[in-house]
Structure 1
Amino acid sequence: MVPPTYIPILLFYPTSDHQRVQQLKKSLSETLTRFYPFAGTIKDNAFIECNDDGACFIEARVSCLLSHILNEPDHEVLKQFLPINFESSEGGKGCVLLVQANYFKGGGIAVGLCLSHKIADAATLSTFIRSWAASASGSDQRVVNPLFDSVPMAPPKDISVDPPSVEMKVYKSVTKRFVFHGSKIADLKVKVANNFVENPTKVEALAALIWKCARKASRVTLGFSSRPSAFYQNVNIRNKIVPPVPNGSVGNFVGSFIARSEEAAETDLHGLVAELRKGIEQFTSKAKRVPLSEDISVISEPQTAAIGFLSRDDMDFYVCTSWCRFELYEAADFGWGKPMWVSSAVPTCNNMVILVDAEGGDGIECWIRLNEDEMKVFECDQELLSYAAFNPSVWKTG
């Protein structure tokens, strides 16, 4: 059911120790013996041929300083540090894992990874990076032994869905980065708390704010006083299904729910965060009702509904993926220390939001892709900017 794309991630290090790149390659080979499907090839959208073709490893030299990239991160520039276009259909039939090591003029390394979304989610990518980094740095006690236990949970079956014919409208879109510091998120959580959601998570609070400001930008741009909208939120289902599976389980353990806002008037943050909480609670309740081995409708139905929403031009539909809580900074120490910046690269489609923990774990970085006219309104929204910093520098001196 997953589109043939790659999950992209970029890890930036200020190190000048290019000598360790050989160790990077050697440890990648060692790690692939444990994550052996990543060295194979996807066949017929149904299984992986473990032919040991291997992962692709590319080395690139960058003719500018690392500081030039990190002073003002630009998603079009960042994509060049990845080994393949992450929207490539090769993600469904070609190389499962690709890596690109980028060496900057004057020192600094960026490691770009693309892992096929057909067989992995962000949690699996995090598990792989943690195990690879442990091998590269010689920290054997940190090596993760992956679990390939999804087949008994969801045996192969015909789960093909005939989606409705969808004519996707093409917009000229732009992607921008906003950073929410921990103190601002704490203030926002206090503001959005209500009788229904007394203690909202930081992801719920941020999602509600972004949803509200994006809806507002759409209405202003289109000239509507009211317009229904929906917010599609991806969910890591490992601890939400019966029986639950460990975090080290390899696969695409992703579900989703859709929160709706049909009110004619501008919905406040309290109402939106309540809709988001209701969505996750309803999803969790249904996921725990029947094992996936018997019924996968908890996963397939929201996807089918999303395809229908995408074809409508009388409402706004947003997609949100959260990479928070994967501890990517702690996981990605290849012997150079923790990365100075972790980026999920870029959203893959219009009206998409990606949330990633900022360094230190308290803050969150948000990448959002909107059509050009709506972004001009969104990025000037004073309520948004009272909590967010627009594309601050990542580069640290001293």
Structure 2
Amino acid sequence: MASLPFMITRNLENLMKMKVEIISSKFIKPSLPTPPTHRKYKLSFFDQLAPPAYPGIVFFFLSNDKNHEAQAENDNVKWLKQLEKSLSDILVHFYPLAGKYVKEDLLVDCNDQGVEVFEARVHNISLAELVHGRPELVDSFAPTAMAMASSNPSPVAAIQISTFEQGGFAVGMRISHKIIDGFTQATFIKEWAIASKEGIEKAMWPSFELGSLFPARELSDLKPHPRRDQGVKKLVAKRFVLDAATISTLKAKVVGVSLDLIPTKSSSSESGTPPKRQPSRILVVTALIWRTLIDIARAKHGYLRPSVLSLSMDLRERTGLQPPKNPFGNLFTHSTARFMAEENKMELHDLVFLLKEAINKTSEDYANVQHGDDIYSMLINHYNENGADKPSNADFFYFSSLRKFSCYEVDFGWGQPAWVTTTSKPVELISLMDTKCGEGIEVSMTLNEDDMREFECHPDIVALSSAEILTRALPKDSLRKFSCYEVDFGWGQPAWVTTTSKPVELISLMDTKCGEGIEVSMTLNEDDMREFECHPDIVELSSAEILTRALPKE
């Protein structure tokens, strides 16, 4: 017999009724004018090579008073005014964000037109309900990327502040990747929060010297990328959370592999030498996803294919050129790991080895450069190798990581966010970031729908979920007291109440802690359980991120 506890925690009717209504918009200008000498902010060649995208990030904050709607409304008004005032102050420090991007001139016209801020009201859904929902719903809480990209000159940044009827609010923003990278975006958000909570005098000033250190170029060495296949399948976005227990299990699988040594043909994980240090969380999670995607490609094509993984890497404090402190702009590269079917094995530790080797090599290469021309050549070589010159028989996967950006430390003055997440992507991309507790990793994936379907049903992923490790990223205090969960022996109410496994085939139903979901405990024969987990109706639920594991929250 096989037992599978799971929860259906979504209220589909509420999801369908959810409405995010834009009720106003205004431009927030810097509180002090930008000096004429700073009117033109010139881009660097890092900015030139950055993708023409408007990646979005959304911070969700819970209300301090969930019982009084009038108080929640008053709080929302107060928060909105405080956010607008502090935004105006911090734009003095980050003045290019209040300008216009002039593509032809490779510069930002810092004309102080301001950042457009949209005020929105969220109807028919609470924050606790939203985080159970589908990833694409998050896009409603950030400005529309298409509208921003369609104008020329185009805005650099836009922000949306959404308030919930039952209290709480969300701050979503999009900033042009042609102007800044994720590190600078995270820095701006943190400094904005400091200006809001502690005052503008506590916020730091970034430096704007990257355009002088790495001036824009003709890019004559950059080969045009081949056009994408117009018949490409529909993209699907999903979000998974791997908690500390999952990651510990994955790390245990690579015990015996020394990550302090770059693997060579003479070095082997079979030597029995214990590792001097454990692999990072990012390494093992990335290796797990990569191995699954390699296996999916093998099943699709009928043979094991070469696979290339490109992982974004921040270059601050990694080059021999000593860039200025707190540089504003793009300053990142990519580390490329290659899996060759005839040379490499697919064990988890083998892929961890390949990733670590690639990261170490990239770090060493950039640490040894002494001139901007060398960095330019390295960047061009990377983009050509992974673009125009990439082999047609290899699969390419692109990963980015936000896990060192301390997003959950952002505090505008009324507490840290309950949930931070990114908007969906228009391309196939896997993004990794820390969970609120700092020990798990949230994985946001965009794949074509066939590959996503295979990914969710892959044995490695099912093995995690059937062990009740794969869970959703819920705010800790989104659960409500109800039924069995009111039991208190004197040391608090239970985090989880459930039934034991059954010696016969039986399906049991009971309330979840929040009182709005249903926990289903199933005991079936092994073959039927396997078919049940992969049945289209059940896969459809999980593809809507409705099917979640019955675990206490982190």
Q: Output the CA distance in 2 between the equivalents of 1:358 and 1:370.
A: 22
Give the alignment's TM-score, normalised by structure 2. Answer: 0.67
- Once the two structures are overlaid, the 10-residue window that deviates more, 165-174 or 199-208, is 165-174
2:448 aligned to 371, 385, 388, which one?
371
Could you tell me which residue of structure 1 aligns to residue 308 of structure 2?
A: 230
SS at match of 2:460: helix
2:99 aligned to 24, 35, 40, which one?
40
Q: Output the CA distance in 2 between the equivalents of 1:292 and 1:38.
A: 29
Could you tell me which residue of structure 2 aligns to residue 297 of structure 1?
A: 377
Question: Deviation of residue 89 (structure 1)?
Answer: 2.9
SS at match of 1:339: coil
- Is residue 7–residue 121 contact of structure 1 (8 Å, CA) maintained in 2? no
Question: Deviation of residue 64 (structure 1)?
Answer: 2.1
CA shift digits 1:88-135 (9 cap, x unpaired)? 535984111100011122112111110110111111011100111111
Question: In structure 2, what residue type is equivalent to 1:374?
Answer: D
Q: Output the CA distance in 2 between the equivalents of 1:201 and 1:91.
A: 42
2:365 aligned to 286, 310, 316, which one?
286
Rg larger in 1 or in 2?
2
CA shift digits 1:280-324 (9 cap, x unpaired)? 1111122122235232122222122221367x5522110000001
Change (3 A) 1:183 1:282: same
Q: Output the CA distance in 2 between the equivalents of 1:139 and 1:191.
A: 48
Could you tell me which residue of structure 2 aligns to residue 109 of structure 1?
A: 169
Question: In structure 1, what residue type is equivalent to 2:327?
Answer: S
Residue 192 of structure 1 pairs with residue 271 of structure 2: no
2:209 aligned to 143, 146, 149, which one?
149
Could you tell me which residue of structure 1 aligns to residue 499 of structure 2?
A: none
1:62 aligned to 122, 125, 142, which one?
122
Residue 244 of structure 1 pairs with residue 307 of structure 2: no
Question: In structure 1, what residue type is equivalent to 2:89?
Answer: E
Could you tell me which residue of structure 1 aligns to residue 52 of structure 2?
A: 4
Could you tell me which residue of structure 1 aligns to residue 527 of structure 2?
A: none
Q: Output the CA distance in 2 between the equivalents of 1:100 and 1:120.
A: 19
Change (3 A) 1:174 1:394: same
SS at match of 2:372: coil
SS at match of 1:31: helix
Q: Output the CA distance in 2 between the equivalents of 1:46 and 1:317.
A: 30
Could you tell me which residue of structure 2 aligns to residue 333 of structure 1?
A: 411
Question: In structure 2, what residue type is equivalent to 1:367?
Answer: S
Q: Output the CA distance in 1 between the equivalents of 2:146 and 2:464.
A: 31
Question: In structure 1, what residue type is equivalent to 2:53?
Answer: T
SS at match of 1:135: helix
1:272 aligned to 351, 355, 359, which one?
351
Question: In structure 2, what residue type is equivalent to 1:70?
Answer: L
- Once the two structures are overlaid, the 10-residue window that deviates more, 244-253 or 77-86, is 244-253
- Is residue 319–residue 367 contact of structure 2 (8 Å, CA) maintained in 1? yes
Residue 212 of structure 1 pairs with residue 272 of structure 2: no
Q: Output the CA distance in 1 between the equivalents of 2:132 and 2:325.
A: 34
- Is residue 209–residue 324 contact of structure 2 (8 Å, CA) maintained in 1? no
Structure 2 gap segments, 5+ residues each = 1-48, 64-71, 261-274, 481-554
- Is residue 41–residue 93 contact of structure 1 (8 Å, CA) maintained in 2? yes
1:120 aligned to 162, 177, 180, which one?
180
2:282 aligned to 195, 199, 203, which one?
203
CA RMSD of aligned residues (A): 2.3
Could you tell me which residue of structure 2 aligns to residue 78 of structure 1?
A: 138
Change (3 A) 1:372 1:382: same
Q: Output the CA distance in 2 between the equivalents of 1:190 and 1:309.
A: 38
Q: Output the CA distance in 2 between the equivalents of 1:243 and 1:92.
A: 34
Question: Deviation of residue 217 (structure 1)?
Answer: 1.9
Change (3 A) 1:48 1:109: same
Q: Output the CA distance in 2 between the equivalents of 1:88 and 1:218.
A: 35
Change (3 A) 1:90 1:146: farther
Question: Deviation of residue 143 (structure 1)?
Answer: 1.7
Question: In structure 2, what residue type is equivalent to 1:241?
Answer: T
Question: Deviation of residue 158 (structure 1)?
Answer: 2.9
Change (3 A) 1:254 1:140: same
Question: Deviation of residue 192 (structure 1)?
Answer: 2.5
- Is residue 7–residue 86 contact of structure 1 (8 Å, CA) maintained in 2? no
Question: Deviation of residue 48 (structure 1)?
Answer: 1.2
Matches within 5 A, 1:16-35: 16=72, 17-18=75-76, 19-35=78-94
- Is residue 241–residue 473 contact of structure 2 (8 Å, CA) maintained in 1? no
- Once the two structures are overlaid, the 10-residue window that deviates more, 269-278 or 71-80, is 71-80
Question: In structure 2, what residue type is equivalent to 1:171?
Answer: K
Structure 1 gap segments, 5+ residues each = none
SS at match of 1:21: helix
